[in-house]
Structure 1
Amino acid sequence: MRRSTIIFFVGVLAGLDSFSNAQSREHPARSIYKLREYLELQGNLVLNLEYYVYHLEIKLHKIQEALLDMEKVHALFEEDKRAFVSNPVNSFSLIRHMHSDWMKWQLYLSGDPGQEQLAYMRETSAYLPTKDDIADALLGMERVRSVYGLEPQDMASGLLSDVQYDSSFSPHDCRSLAEYSIGMKDYPTAERWLQVAISLLQDRNEDPVVPLNIIDVTQTLVESYRAQRNPWSAGHILEAALKLSPFDARLLRLKEQVSTDLMYEVPLKHRPKGVPDQDHCCNGLCKGPRNRHLHCFYLTKRGSPFLLLARVRTEILSDDPFIVLYYDVLTHSDMVSLRNTSEPLLHPATTIQYLNAPQELSNSRTAHFVWLEPTITEATRRADRVLWDVTGLNLSNSEMFQVNNYGIGGSFMRHSDLLHSERNYLVRERIATAIFYLSDVPQGGATLFTELNVTVFPQAGTVLFWYNLAHSGDHDMRTRHTGCPVIVGSKWMMTRWIYDDGQAFTKPCHTKLKSPMVMA
């Protein structure tokens, strides 16, 4: 290896500590932005391993050079051993060499040339994914699979919702997903993951460092069948495995257990736990009743001088309850600024069960978020201004902007944005919600209004707006919605919840109007 390469490796290793110490350890699988830190750490670990190989090669080269010299001497005494030892020079050299040199060889061979690299790996082990991280990732993948109806075989080959990617799962990945399904008592899904793992193992050699073979996976599959009280399928799989390894003690024990099961068991169907109830219209293709009074236009009035100069393309998605999409509201530079401002401040998203309750980390919402004051940057000020322009609502008493970045299969389970379970006119309530989409999402990540069959896919620069209160001021539970799992991409969004106090003149209550808003 050339000197420049050596200096390069030394420089990389010297700078690794600063990266690992700065890395966030708060559920990185719940944010695509946070996951990028793992890519950097993975790259550094690979370089560290390459440097370890380099030191091993140096040691091997020295041993090979010494062997060449020893083999030359060996060739001499093989011709005539008596003549060789009769020469005092040869005899003394032999005794001295065997007395001193082999002890030094023992010390040299016992020394590990990769101590620095091993120390680095020990240090970075504290920054590797934890059990909580792998649990987050497994939950995200299961949500993607179950919500979009994907087959394990397709997912393992990189085929995600009819789009083929240059990516694939390893047998270890499939086995981990199978074990997660077993933990959820979703045995049919576990069976499919394990079958994919077995097919992948048949096409590759066993990893000597992280071993996994067909027998290991078969054992898990048989145990899954037994948990389903399906000894017939378990016996069939065992027969095939025993042909490959007829004397494996684990398989022989399982065969005895399965034979006993065949005598006593009757089929039992388990109801999978799976993930919590999720909506299956996230692809936007569900059939069912929809609001038919939809139209598009350019918003030019509402008392805003800005709208007279810059019309806003508007699409009404539902007139009752009122749901609207405003296009090209944010510029590319504003979206980049909002993401850059938020990135170093992100932390795992939490939810509250009721007003004034403590914030709790919940699997119902898998993302990282941060609150931003409307006046913190030029981008937030412009977003605040344009929201007033298009809605006409008083924003002075509303909540701050909340920026979210979703992770692996990131989603927000079905919920309402209302603060109170029952309407109380003496306390304030969220009259409306506005979502600014700060990025495109290639697949998934839609906002789904489950009771209205309205699915809105993220488009960078657009704003989704709706009223949570009916025109009478009562709760409108039809606006319950789901943040669908992200299949591929990094979903960035910024939410603003608008309160009803201060809206007496901008949006007075009426009991006879059907729509909560009359477009100007």
Structure 2
Amino acid sequence: MKPNVAWVRSACLLLLLPLMAQAEVYTSIQELTAVFSLERRVVAALTNYLGDMETRLARIRKYLQEYEQVSAEGVATDEGIMERLAGNPVHAFHLMKRLTVDWRHIEDQAKKDYWINVVEAMSGGVGGRGGLSVRLPAEEDLHGAAQALVRLHDVYNLNMTQLVRGNVWGVQSYAELTAQDCLYMGKHSFNMGMYPRAIQWFEEAYTLAGLEGNATVTQDQVNMFLNTAIKAYDESTLTRPELGHSVPTSLQKENETTKVVQYRLGDDLTPQEDAQNFQALCRGEKLLSYRYLASLTCFYDHRDHPYFFLMPVKVERHYLQPELLTFHDVLSDFEINHIKGIAKPMLARAMVQGHQGKGNTVSNTRTSKVGWLDDSFDLIIQKVNKRVEMITGLSTNVAAEDAEMMQVSNYGIGGHYNPHHDYLLVDKTEDELRFNIHPRELVMGDRIATFMFYLSDVTRGGATAFPRLGTAVWPSKGSAAFWHNLKRSGEGDVSTLHGACPVVHGSKWVSNKWIRERGQFLRRGCTLRPED
């Protein structure tokens, strides 16, 4: 018995829905790349399907045209037309041909389900045909992608007109936005409380709607949202006047957006000042004085290790105290490809510590996917960890719990990580340490230092910014940033607040090696000065 095709198709789609619901594609460029590849296969199947449908329709049109030619010989109301047609031997022959050969072809084509090839192309990625498994985007991914665009526009103050016409911070493409797209972005900005940005998106949507002839959305529809956003903006500036100057908008004149902003550095910054400095650093602005910048140097260093006396490390200094360094060319392309290769199957949505230390949770403050690599299973990872130990002088022995496993992260659309501290314990209360922190974490001690490899270059954006120090480290494939999270006294160094700037264009891969206090007792000693 032949199964009902429609029922089979419905069953296939029902099977796909749970997998699609789990999709979270926008948080990883690796996932997005796989989806683009899947779409290419689907488009090829759709092209074949379209060709088959056009062939089928052409055959039906030919049948109808032949019949119309025959019926045109008489008048429809003439009672003798059918008899006259039947009396014509050629007409009779064509009638037999139409209802045997031609009709059989039409019927056979109608029975074939060409759409099943498209379903198979789609399910081949989702179901894992050939050992592959591709997550399909869900509505959550659409919202995430929209929020990423809103975030990029806000942080980098991108030119709205250029952005909607495919110019993303100087990178031109055919990826343009419609009036409906801009309206969608404006709604997201509004829901996020970013009223000035929402007004910009709505104004651009209004302009594009006029240029499009109200094709995707009408100007009247946009105008309703625009008026609501302006009203909300006016009300917010009455209760919080600082919001009226926090973000340059199209409500202000263009020359006002380029006015010089005074930035303050230090450990006593307000959250607003931290955010302001962070965004400025992401845009590439210089917050340190030229005199201080002149004191920063690049040099070769043997790091007090015999291995580097013959082949010293290339060091770039970004800040003096606390010391913030970049070690260049510490990973080869082979090692990078190997690390990324074994990490890709393990990538999962990055988690952050929950409220009051209660477990881990997914958060919008960090959009990336991560995997953890244990050096006990791979000789290359062991070799890289040993290199970190030689460069830093700190123990990276995972088995002895002196350090954590290597974490590999891949950032997605507008991938970012809001400013945070890497230390986990020193800022916790005694009750939080007792009830919310696993005893193993207490044995390992806090994260004394961070060694962060850059596994890729980034076309635009993606810097690691330190808003309280006023400096940033930009991704450079094969290099690594290094800093201490704790002072020698064991106190947390609050000035090491840092975050990952949103990725504007390109793919960002990083690998973190967090070194714990355990095992560093004889490697980094205390001093008599509590401020050290």
**What's the offset of the Cα at 1:357?**
3.5
Give the aligned partner of residue 134 of structure 1: 142
Give the aligned partner of residue 58 of structure 1: 55
Task: Check the 8 A contact 2:326/2:480 in 1, yes or no.
Answer: yes
Task: Check the 8 A contact 2:425/2:446 in 1, yes or no.
Answer: yes
Q: Comparing 220-229 with 414-423, which one deviates more in the overlay?
A: 220-229
Give the aligned partner of residue 422 of structure 2: 417
Do structure 1's residue 222 and structure 2's residue 224 form an aligned pair?
Answer: yes
Give the aligned partner of residue 283 of structure 1: 283
The aligned amino acid for 2:496 is T
Give the aligned partner of residue 5 of structure 2: none
Task: Check the 8 A contact 1:55/1:113 in 2, yes or no.
Answer: no
The 1:224/1:121 distance shift into structure 2, 3 A limit, reads farther
Task: Check the 8 A contact 1:228/1:269 in 2, yes or no.
Answer: no
Give the aligned partner of residue 320 of structure 1: 321
1-side partners of 2:111 and 2:419: how far apart?
56
Within a 5 Å distance, the mapping from 1:381-400 to structure 2 comes to 381-396=382-397, 397-400=402-405
Instruction: Write out per-residue CA displacement over residues 131-182 of structure 1, whole angstroms, 9 at most, x where no aligned residue.
Output: 2212221222222111111133221122233443443223332222122122
The aligned amino acid for 1:54 is G
Task: Check the 8 A contact 1:438/1:493 in 2, yes or no.
Answer: yes
2-side partners of 1:317 and 1:117: how far apart?
58
Unaligned runs of 5+ in 1: 1-15, 207-211, 231-265
2-side partners of 1:333 and 1:494: how far apart?
15
Give the aligned partner of residue 264 of structure 2: none
Give the aligned partner of residue 248 of structure 1: none
Instruction: Write out per-residue CA displacement over residues 177-212 of structure 1, whole angstroms, 9 at most, x where no aligned residue.
Output: 122122224343223223333443444578xxxxx5
Give the aligned partner of residue 33 of structure 2: 36
2-side partners of 1:404 and 1:445: how far apart?
13
Give the aligned partner of residue 235 of structure 2: 268
The aligned amino acid for 1:69 is E
Percent identical pairs in the alignment equals: 28
Q: How many matched pairs? A: 454
Task: Check the 8 A contact 2:180/2:216 in 1, yes or no.
Answer: no
TM-score, length basis structure 1: 0.76
**What's the offset of the Cα at 1:79?**
13
2-side partners of 1:296 and 1:201: how far apart?
52
**What's the offset of the Cα at 1:80?**
13
| Residue from 297, 300, 303 that aligns with 1:298 | 300
TM-score, length basis structure 2: 0.74
Within a 5 Å distance, the mapping from 1:155-170 to structure 2 comes to 155-170=163-178
Unaligned runs of 5+ in 2: 1-12, 127-134, 248-270, 434-441
Give the aligned partner of residue 48 of structure 1: 45
2-side partners of 1:376 and 1:132: how far apart?
35
1-side partners of 2:375 and 2:455: how far apart?
16
Task: Check the 8 A contact 2:335/2:380 in 1, yes or no.
Answer: yes
Task: Check the 8 A contact 1:20/1:41 in 2, yes or no.
Answer: no
Let me know the Cα RMSD of the aligned residues.
Answer: 4.2
Give the aligned partner of residue 486 of structure 1: 503
Task: Check the 8 A contact 1:84/1:90 in 2, yes or no.
Answer: no
1-side partners of 2:16 and 2:342: how far apart?
20
Do structure 1's residue 213 and structure 2's residue 200 form an aligned pair?
Answer: no
The 1:84/1:359 distance shift into structure 2, 3 A limit, reads closer
1-side partners of 2:30 and 2:318: how far apart?
31
Instruction: Write out per-residue CA displacement over residues 9-48 of structure 1, whole angstroms, 9 at most, x where no aligned residue.
Output: xxxxxxx999999989441100001111221232233233
The 1:124/1:162 distance shift into structure 2, 3 A limit, reads closer
Task: Check the 8 A contact 1:355/1:419 in 2, yes or no.
Answer: no
Match of 1:387, SS state, is helix
The 1:143/1:86 distance shift into structure 2, 3 A limit, reads closer
Within a 5 Å distance, the mapping from 1:106-505 to structure 2 comes to 115-117=113-115, 120=118, 124=122, 128-204=136-212, 213-215=216-218, 218-229=220-231, 268-269=235-236, 278=275, 279-281=278-280, 282-289=282-289, 293-302=295-304, 304-353=305-354, 357-396=358-397, 397-422=402-427, 428-505=445-522
2-side partners of 1:366 and 1:352: how far apart?
14
